Structure 1
Amino acid sequence: MDFELTAEQRLFRATLRDFADREIRPVAREWEASGRYPTEIVAGMRELGLFGLTVPEEYGGLGADLVSFALVFEELSKAWMGIAGILGSHTLACWMIARHGTSGQKERYLPELATGARRSGIGLTEPGAGTDLQGISTVARRDGDRYLVSGTKTWITNARYADPLPVLVKTDPAADPAHRGMSVLLVEAGTPGYRVLRDLPKLGYKGTESCEIVMDAAEVPADRLLGGVEGRGLQQVLSALEIGRINVAARSLGIAQAAYDAALAYAGQREAFGQKIHDFQAIQMKLADMAIKVQSARLLVYWAASRADAGRRVDTEAGMAKTVASEAAIDCSLAAMQIHGGYGYSTEFDVERLYRDAPLMSIGEGTNDIMRTVIARGLISGKDVIG
Structure 2
Amino acid sequence: MQAERGEPHDNVEAPLTLLPEAVTTLTRFEDAARTRVRRKIEMSAGGIDAEQRALHGLAWLATYRQTLQEVADHLAQAKARGQTSAVMQAMGLIAASEYLAQCFGGLPMSQLEFARPHDFGFSAAEAAAYQTPAVERLIAHGNTAATRAALTRAIRQAEPSRLFDGDLDSDLAAITETIHRYVDTKIALQAHGWHCDNAYIPLDIIADLSHLGVFGLTLPEDYEGLGLGKTAMCAVTEELSRGYIGIGSLGTRSEIAAELLLAGGTEEQKRKYLPGIGSGQIITTAVFTEPEAGSDLASLRLRATRVDDHYLLRGAKTWITHAARADLMLVLARTGTAEARHDGLSMFLVEKPRGDDAEPFALQGLSGSEIEVLGYRGMKEFELVFDDVAVPKAALLGGVEGRGFRQLMQTFESARIQTAARAIGTARAAFELAVHYALERRQFGKALMDFPRVSDKIALMAAEIFAGRRLTHFAARAKDLGRRCDLEAGMAKLLAARIAWACADNTVQIHGGTGFALEHPASRLLCDARILSIFEGAAEIQAHVIGRRLLEET
For the superposition of Structure 1 and Structure 2, which TM-score range results when normalised by the shorter chain?
Answer: over 0.9
Q: C-alpha distance in 1, partners of 2:384/2:401?
A: 23
1:122 counterpart SS class: strand
Out of 276, 293, 308, which is 2:464 matched to? 293
Structure 2 counterpart of 1:153:
317
Structure 1 counterpart of 2:10:
none
Deviation by residue 1:134-185 (Cα, 9 ceiling, x = unmatched)? 1110111112221111111111112122222111111102443x11111101
Aligned residue identity for 1:22? T
Aligned residue identity for 2:346? S
1:316 counterpart SS class: helix
Q: C-alpha distance in 1, partners of 2:382/2:549?
A: 34
Structure 2 counterpart of 1:110:
274
Out of 516, 522, 529, which is 1:345 matched to? 516
CA contact (8 A) 1:119 1:162 kept: yes
Determine whether 1:209 maps to 2:369: no
Aligned residue identity for 1:218? V
CA contact (8 A) 1:167 1:184 kept: yes
Determine whether 1:262 maps to 2:433: yes
Q: C-alpha distance in 2, partners of 1:27/1:334?
A: 22
Distance change >3 Å, CA 343–CA 294, structure 1 → 2 = same
Q: C-alpha distance in 2, partners of 1:37/1:162?
A: 12
Aligned residue identity for 2:172? Q
Structure 1 counterpart of 2:219:
55
Unaligned 5+ segments in structure 1 are none
Structure 2 counterpart of 1:121:
285
CA contact (8 A) 1:54 1:95 kept: no
Q: C-alpha distance in 2, partners of 1:373/1:25?
A: 36
Structure number with greater Rg is 2
Distance change >3 Å, CA 192–CA 344, structure 1 → 2 = closer
TM-score (norm 2): 0.67
Task: Spell out the pairing of 1:58-207 with structure 2 (5 A cutoff).
Answer: 58-176=222-340, 178-190=341-353, 193-207=364-378
2:215 counterpart SS class: helix
Q: C-alpha distance in 2, partners of 1:141/1:38?
A: 36
Q: C-alpha distance in 1, partners of 2:367/2:236?
A: 28
Deviation by residue 1:204-260 (Cα, 9 ceiling, x = unmatched)? 011112112221111111111111111111111111021111111111111111111
Determine whether 1:37 maps to 2:200: yes
Aligned residue identity for 1:27? Q
CA contact (8 A) 1:187 1:220 kept: yes
CA contact (8 A) 1:194 1:213 kept: no
1:165 counterpart SS class: strand
> How many percent identity over aligned positions?
38
Determine whether 1:365 maps to 2:536: yes
Distance change >3 Å, CA 104–CA 372, structure 1 → 2 = same
Q: C-alpha distance in 1, partners of 2:537/2:280?
A: 27
Aligned residue identity for 1:216? D
Q: C-alpha distance in 1, partners of 2:504/2:542?
A: 21
Structure 1 counterpart of 2:418:
247
Structure 1 counterpart of 2:172:
9
CA contact (8 A) 1:53 1:69 kept: yes
1:150 counterpart SS class: strand
**Which structure carries more helix by proportion?**
2
State the Cα distance separating 1:302 from its structure 2 match.
0.8
CA contact (8 A) 1:297 1:328 kept: yes
Out of 472, 476, 479, which is 1:305 matched to? 476
Structure 2 counterpart of 1:319:
490
CA contact (8 A) 1:330 1:358 kept: yes
2:285 counterpart SS class: coil
State the Cα distance separating 1:192 from its structure 2 match.
5.7
State the Cα distance separating 1:194 from its structure 2 match.
4.0
2:284 counterpart SS class: coil
State the Cα distance separating 1:30 from its structure 2 match.
1.6
The Cα RMSD (Å) is: 1.6
Structure 2 counterpart of 1:330:
501
State the Cα distance separating 1:319 from its structure 2 match.
0.8
Q: C-alpha distance in 2, partners of 1:118/1:166?
A: 12
Q: C-alpha distance in 2, partners of 1:360/1:31?
A: 18
Aligned residue identity for 1:93? A
CA contact (8 A) 1:52 1:113 kept: yes
Aligned residue identity for 2:290? E
Between 1:136-145 and 1:360-369, the stretch displaced more is 136-145
Q: C-alpha distance in 2, partners of 1:92/1:204?
A: 22
Q: C-alpha distance in 2, partners of 1:350/1:10?
A: 27
Distance change >3 Å, CA 193–CA 173, structure 1 → 2 = farther
Determine whether 1:28 maps to 2:191: yes
CA contact (8 A) 2:263 2:410 kept: no
Q: C-alpha distance in 2, partners of 1:72/1:129?
A: 32
1:156 counterpart SS class: strand
Q: C-alpha distance in 1, partners of 2:188/2:449?
A: 25
State the Cα distance separating 1:284 from its structure 2 match.
2.3
Structure 1 counterpart of 2:52:
none
State the Cα distance separating 1:196 from its structure 2 match.
4.1
Structure 1 counterpart of 2:392:
221
Deviation by residue 1:83-116 (Cα, 9 ceiling, x = unmatched)? 2222212221122112211001001111111111
Q: C-alpha distance in 2, partners of 1:281/1:22?
A: 33
Structure 1 counterpart of 2:5:
none
CA contact (8 A) 1:196 1:211 kept: no
CA contact (8 A) 1:55 1:61 kept: yes
TM-score (norm 1): 0.95
Q: C-alpha distance in 2, partners of 1:248/1:192?
A: 30
